Amino acid sequence: TLTKEMFLNHLYGGMDEPELKIIDVFICKLRKKLANASSGKNYIETVWGRGYVLREPTDADERIPA
């Protein structure tokens, strides 16, 4: 599981960091791009209160609504 803080550290490396909310925006855009490239599959799962995890979607997973 990658936390928002980990993303900020990796992306901004100690420079003036933006608010944590920017990571939610990045993840949202990345999910849409991945869904468009993979017939609507969702590879990024939110781990509530922790961060995000990349997983292989299964047939039981719901597709991302357009």
| Cβ–Cβ under 8 Å, residues 63 and 13 | no
**d(C-alpha 50, C-alpha 31), whole Å:** 18
What does R_g of the chain's alpha carbons equal in angstroms? 13
Report which DSSP code applies to 46.
E
**Crossing angle for the helix pair 21-37 and 4-12, nearest 10 degrees?**
90
pLDDT tens digits, 7-41: 888 888 867 767 778 888 999 999 999 999 998 88
Q: Amino acid letter at 5?
A: E
pLDDT tens digits, 33-62: 999 999 888 899 999 988 899 888 776 555
pTM (two decimals): 0.69
